[in-house]
Amino acid sequence: MAMIEIEGITKRFGGVTAVDNLSLAVDAGEFLTLLGPSGCGKTTVLRMIAGLEVPDAGEIRIAGKTVFSAQRGLFVSPGKRGIGLVFQSYALWPHMSVRQNVAFGLEIRKVDPEEMKREVAEALAYMHLEGMEDRYPQQMSGGQQQRVALARMLVARPGVFLMDEPLSNLDAKLRIEMRAEIKRLHREAHATTVYVTHDQTEALTLSSRVAVMERGRLMQVAPPREIYRRPASLFVADFIGSPTINLIPGKIVRKSEGVFFDGEALSLPAPALAAHIGAEVTAAIRPEEIQIETGENEDAVSGEAYAVLPAGSETIVQIRREGRIFNVRVIGETSFDVGENLCMRFLPEAVSYFHRNGGDRIDTGRE
């Protein structure tokens, strides 16, 4: 069952179309992430679901109930939508203690004082905040404050969690810890979650589905693995992955030996593309899908080590060939020297192809 249904919503700010005729359904219990570059409209979508922003067109339903309809002139206020919000800035009340801040989430549910006390204690324990009940927000670290914000959302028991970059003010280590907390919270609370981030790792690790946005539109909505392995367009392929995917412009040609991708600094057999002879395409290969071989090798592609970038658990090796740099990811350490001759091996089934014009994926039957 769809818990949130968005149909054709548009939002303009003056001359800027922040969200452009966007439709999306989020299933009950799902963790959906809106991911995209700065300014693409993620926050605006979330604020429209919450009722903090009024769309110019379209309709929004939550749990089967219409909360906004431009056509029918209908608008349900944020407090009546059954949602919980956590933002990048923790938005805790500075004059209230941790206990009071969390209890504030219960006011709307009008529970009795004894029950309230128990639920607040439970939520604080759940977010590892025992012993901090009487502190004020300014006496806590960023991560602790964000946990208070999550506890406050938790006690209100909304059917829908909406979170806008809740981890972006935290340092790298804390971010990873809190990521795990949010994932655990979602699993146990079973609340439908819409999460906004421009951090792709966060999106890929947390979500059941990722919605990639660009300039107010949805580019692809799919599970993380599919977004990474089968990007629908050149934009998604290029936006996801670090270091970025290797993109090589070229053409599909027929040779006496078969169908080939004939690209800059690279020629690859492309038997699955026989229907696209003559097409101008871009081949895309993830850094971990290129294998490095030392010494001479018949069907491998030779190049020269341009830079070797060790990062502990992996090493990024940049290989130059005919003026083009290929990024290759190697697990662990390497002993390659800059300037050394190396061979790259490309597995044909690991290569994605996109139409250069328009950027759509060409289906090669790849899983």
Q: What is the DSSP string of 141-176?
A: -HHHHHHHHHHHHHHT--SEEEEESTTTTS-HHHHH
Q: Which CB atom, from 22 or from 351, has the smaller least distance to ligand ATP? A: 22
Q: Which CB atom, from 18 or from 222, has the smaller least distance to ligand ATP? A: 18
HSE-up of 232 (CA within 13 Å, CB side)?
A: 11
Q: Where are the alpha helices (DSSP H) in 108-141?
A: 113-126
Is residue 43 within the footprint of ligand ATP (CB under 6 A)? Answer: yes
What mask, x for binding ligand ATP by CB under 6 A, covers residues 121 to 160? ----------------------------------------
Please tell me the count of residues contacting ligand ATP according to CB under 6 A: 12
To ligand ATP, the closest distance from the beta carbon of 162 in angstroms equals 13
**177 touches 130 (CB < 8 A):** no
**334 touches 315 (CB < 8 A):** yes
Q: Which of 7, 20, 27, 39 binds ligand ATP (CB under 6 A)?
A: 39
Q: Which CB atom, from 9 or from 248, has the smaller least distance to ligand ATP? A: 9
Starting at the earlier edge strand, list the strands of the sheet with 83-86: 83-86, 160-164, 192-197, 31-35, 209-214, 217-222
Q: Which CB atom, from 45 or from 132, has the smaller least distance to Mg ion? A: 45
Is residue 29 within the footprint of ligand ATP (CB under 6 A)? Answer: no
What mask, x for binding ligand ATP by CB under 6 A, covers residues 90 to 119? ------------------------------
186 binds, among ligand ATP, Mg ion, none (CB under 5 to 8 A by kind): none
Token pair recorded at residue 325:
């740099």
286 binds, among ligand ATP, Mg ion, none (CB under 5 to 8 A by kind): none
Starting at the earlier edge strand, list the strands of the sheet with 266-269: 266-269, 258-263, 246-255, 280-285, 352-355, 361-362
Q: Which of 43, 97, 192, 220 binds Mg ion (CB under 5 A)?
A: 43
Q: Where are the alpha helices (DSSP H) in the chain?
A: 42-50, 98-107, 113-126, 142-155, 172-189, 200-206, 224-229, 234-239
Q: Which CB atom, from 33 or from 144, has the smaller least distance to ligand ATP? A: 33
38 binds, among Mg ion, ligand ATP, none (CB under 5 to 8 A by kind): ligand ATP
67 binds, among ligand ATP, Mg ion, none (CB under 5 to 8 A by kind): none
Query: What torsion, rounded to 10 degrees, do the Cα atoms 168, 172, 173, 178 define?
Result: 20
**198 touches 38 (CB < 8 A):** yes
CA distances from 135 to 99, 119, 181 (A): 8, 18, 21
CA atoms of 81 and 210, how far apart (whole Å): 23
Q: What is the DSSP string of 273-301?
A: GGGGTT-EEEEEE-GGGEEEEES--TTSE
309 binds, among Mg ion, ligand ATP, none (CB under 5 to 8 A by kind): none
To ligand ATP, the closest distance from the beta carbon of 347 in angstroms equals 35
Is residue 42 within the footprint of ligand ATP (CB under 6 A)? Answer: yes
To ligand ATP, the closest distance from the beta carbon of 256 in angstroms equals 50
Q: Provide φ and ψ at 365, rounded to 5°.
A: 80, 5
Is residue 206 within the footprint of ligand ATP (CB under 6 A)? Answer: no
Is residue 40 within the footprint of ligand ATP (CB under 6 A)? Answer: yes
Q: What is the contact surface with Mg ion in residues (CB under 5 A)? A: 43
Q: What is the contact surface with ligand ATP in residues (CB under 6 A)? A: 13, 16, 18, 36, 38-44, 198
